[in-house]
Amino acid sequence: MKKLLGKDEIREGVGRLARQLAAEYDGRPLTIVAILTGSLVLLADLIRQIDMPVRIALVGSRRQGDKSSTRRAVVVEPALLPKLEGRDVLVIDDIFDTGHTLVEVIAQLAVHRPASIRSAVLLRKAERCEVAVPPDYVVFDIPDEFVVGYGLDYDDRYRNLPYVAALEPADLASE
């Protein structure tokens, strides 16, 4: 593995995001909707650094359709969603790759008529973006490599690493 972002660098980046959000929302309550499972570490670290009223929701998204298809519809499971109408909502995700998941989740949350809806991601692979709407907040831009750690996984492994690393071909071959 090749380390891309160390734990101190990540902590500083998440702190920057927390300060941006505090300035943007100026003490107004914020509902943070985290997309499971990769964003859980970001969510935990972010809410500890936000000095403002927050509500938290976790949404699972699942791909629906033929497994051989490279892009299938994202369906948000609404069971854990709080009332969003009239509230400021921030959707967070671990990584913005092609962008389809984040865009589709935002569209499905928008039907609940929040006062505002924005998005934040820990990592963005800008050159892989296939959607017209970028995230509102990006903590780090990274190269187009397969990354793990800080919530991101490969075959349900490596989520617990306190840093972000790129798996190298030898790492993938040994699996």
Per-residue confidence (pLDDT) for residue 30, from 0 to 100: 97
Q: For residues 139 and 120, is the Cβ–Cβ distance under 8 A? A: yes
60 band by pLDDT with thresholds 50, 70 and 90: confident
**pTM of structure:** 0.90
pLDDT digits (tens, 9 = 90+) for 105-124: 999 999 999 999 999 999 99
Using CA atoms, how far apart are residues 167 and 19, in angstroms rounded to an integer?
31
Using CA atoms, how far apart are residues 132 and 152, in angstroms rounded to an integer?
24
- Closest CA relative to residue 92, chosen from 139, 53, 52, 129: 139
Share of the chain above pLDDT 90, in %: 69
Active-site positions read 97
Q: Tell me the pLDDT of the chain averaged across its residues.
A: 90
Which domains are assigned to the chain?
Answer: 8-141 (3.40.50.2020)
Using CA atoms, how far apart are residues 161 and 148, in angstroms rounded to an integer?
8
Cα Rg for the chain, rounded, in angstroms?
16
pLDDT digits (tens, 9 = 90+) for 121-170: 999 998 888 888 899 999 999 999 999 999 999 999 999 999 999 998 88
DSSP run (H or E) holding 164: strand 164-166
- Closest CA relative to residue 100, chosen from 72, 140, 68: 72
pLDDT digits (tens, 9 = 90+) for 81-108: 889 999 999 999 999 998 888 999 999 9
- Closest CA relative to residue 2, chosen from 168, 169, 173, 154: 168
Per-residue confidence (pLDDT) for residue 81, from 0 to 100: 84
